[in-house]
Chain A
């Protein structure tokens, strides 16, 4: 992480969002909003006094509701940059105009309540999408698991935060309800994955392995603990993956093939009722903690950013690759590439591989000083263009502009508006040719004359 910030060729803009993208391959113009942090990072030393003294305690999003942060905060101790920002929604200064503690205690004088969002404009030749994933919202779909009513039913990502030494419990695995150490931990796989009635049709690809890892961690960290894993299948197709799963099995994890039909409270424990479909018997397991392997879905807001950058998403909301096997790192919009789970569920090795692949695609593009454009684009016959600009309205690539031409009509010069195609932006989709009533637009390689010749050949 630190390497990415320190690299002299990388300009890092955190707390920033892409507002608008225009242009085309080789020549994109991007407007970026850097949100106000209310802390001047050029003078902040990251000493931490401000967040120690801040009186406002807020539920930490980063710890998924299992810890607190202050209103001026860094998300976790190794955050990059290691300098705080103020959460305006919760800061007393912004909500009531009183407080100002952070400003008073900051020796560097870095706190600046008047800081404004900054708008930046950059020109780039290529764009890499790496917006990642979010977890499926299981609380809305799984009534049988308590719709989130039981604090001791958590997601795998919450387990990660607990198990992480810099997390809210400093690496200790506990029951969120009472802080006690759980002895019997039940894991349920495919929560939302491979189940079209509840969530998604697809396999999230990472859960079998991280659940094996979680079970291993429970057995390793908690003496006399037991791990039960309810599964549909165990899928371990990766280098050293099957071996890892076998290791967890040998450590004593109990794999039960079957689904869980109900979780209910029984005293301070949870009862997990399901089926063992290999033995053909119903089973009931008493659990201190239940960990759900929830499905991966596209990151919140990814549909909007796809629209802004100008490429399509697939039926599940992930970014659509140009070809599932041959062009998995490219979109159908020239110059826009894909890396990681934004294209579909992926683990870290696959993500890194795709990211490096996308980087090579970018390098191949940037290594050229000039780029040959696809000649199969629209062209306007200005002599019959009526200037209605119906084409402009339907163009998904914003490739049609207005142009003024001068003509001689009856010996007089007359100005007239016609459509004009930007050859960098036009992707040759042909939408405009359909919208054009006078037939002034033709897609090169698919002209009206050529298409009619085909129709005639078949129909006459």
Chain B
């Protein structure tokens, strides 16, 4: 039997001020496969992550749904957290109830709560089907190509070169310097640019 843990984040008032989280929590706890569900003010904070880790151990959870902000922000944070609890980091599903719900439905709290429940329902259903994934490795050629020999390209090239790596700096004109070398004294110090 799959043992899914659901963790609903308030994100302060960002989510908690719109979605009725206690009501959502009650509903979500009844979903098939959900072995444990809880909420917290800031799930991404250190105590929030500890809450997830402890729950995984205590309730023998084998997969986790975090219901919070966009995965672009904290998917990695939560992957690392569940890994610290001994799970495969990919046994995680995010339900985005901030950008996809509370932020865009601030004026209709009731429907926002229903939508949040549906978003979590979806995530729990998917979580029931996820499997551990494993990273593989590729080699790295220790050389960088910098395209453009203006101030940006030259600065990046010099910094990487100083660190001891090879740099190939490509410039389409006959000289490096770009627009910067065309300038006279530059603000705010009025020193020369070439």
Q: Which residues of A contact B (CB under 8 A)?
A: 1, 3-5, 7-18, 24-28, 30, 32, 37, 62, 74-76, 78-81, 84-85, 122-133, 157, 160-161, 163-167, 171, 209-210, 212-213, 217, 238-241, 243-244, 299, 305, 309, 323, 337, 339-342, 347-348, 351-352, 354-356, 358-360, 362-363, 365-366, 368-376, 423-424, 444-445, 447, 449-451, 453-454, 456-458
Among residues 127 to 171 in chain B, which have CB atoms less than 8 Å away from a CB atom of chain A? Answer: 128-130, 133-171
How distant is the Cα of A371 from the Cα of B136 in the complex, in angstroms?
8
B150 to chain A: closest CB distance in Å? 5
The answer to whether A124 and B129 touch (CB under 8 A), given A9-B166, A339-B155, is no
Contact with A along B178-194 (1 / 0, CB 8 A): 11111111111110011
B5 on interface, CB distance cutoff 8 Å: no
Across the A-B interface, how many residue pairs have beta carbons closer than 8 Å?
A: 305
Q: A352 — nearest CB in chain B belongs to which residue?
A: B155
A355–B182 touching, CB < 8 Å: no
Q: Which residues of A contact B107 (CB under 8 A)?
A: none
Q: Which residues of B contact A18 (CB under 8 A)?
A: 145, 147, 170
Q: Which residues of B contact A209 (CB under 8 A)?
A: 187-188
Q: Which 9 A-B pairs have the closest CB atoms?
A: A340-B152, A457-B125, A359-B159, A130-B153, A130-B148, A355-B155, A9-B161, A79-B175, A375-B133
A5–B145 touching, CB < 8 Å: no
What is the size category of the interface that chain B forms with chain A? 35 or more
How distant is the Cα of A360 from the Cα of B159 in the complex, in angstroms?
8
Q: A163 — nearest CB in chain B belongs to which residue?
A: B184
How distant is the Cα of A355 from the Cα of B150 in the complex, in angstroms?
11
A373–B167 touching, CB < 8 Å: no
The answer to whether A458 and B158 touch (CB under 8 A), given A26-B140, A133-B179, A164-B183, is no
Query: With A167-B184, A373-B135, A451-B126 given, can you name 8 additional A-B contacts, CB distance below 8 Å?
Result: A10-B157, A128-B144, A128-B147, A213-B186, A339-B152, A340-B152, A354-B152, A355-B151
- Residue from the set B90, B134, B164, B183 with the largest chain A CB neighbour count within 10 Å: B183
Q: Which residues of B contact A167 (CB under 8 A)?
A: 184
How distant is the Cα of A288 from the Cα of B118 in the complex, in angstroms?
68
A12–B149 touching, CB < 8 Å: yes
B161–A7 touching, CB < 8 Å: yes
A37 to chain B: closest CB distance in Å? 7
B85 on interface, CB distance cutoff 8 Å: no
A11–B167 touching, CB < 8 Å: yes
How distant is the Cα of A270 from the Cα of B156 in the complex, in angstroms?
44
The answer to whether A157 and B179 touch (CB under 8 A), given A13-B169, A28-B145, is yes
B147–A131 touching, CB < 8 Å: yes
The answer to whether A74 and B150 touch (CB under 8 A), given A9-B164, A370-B137, A457-B121, is no
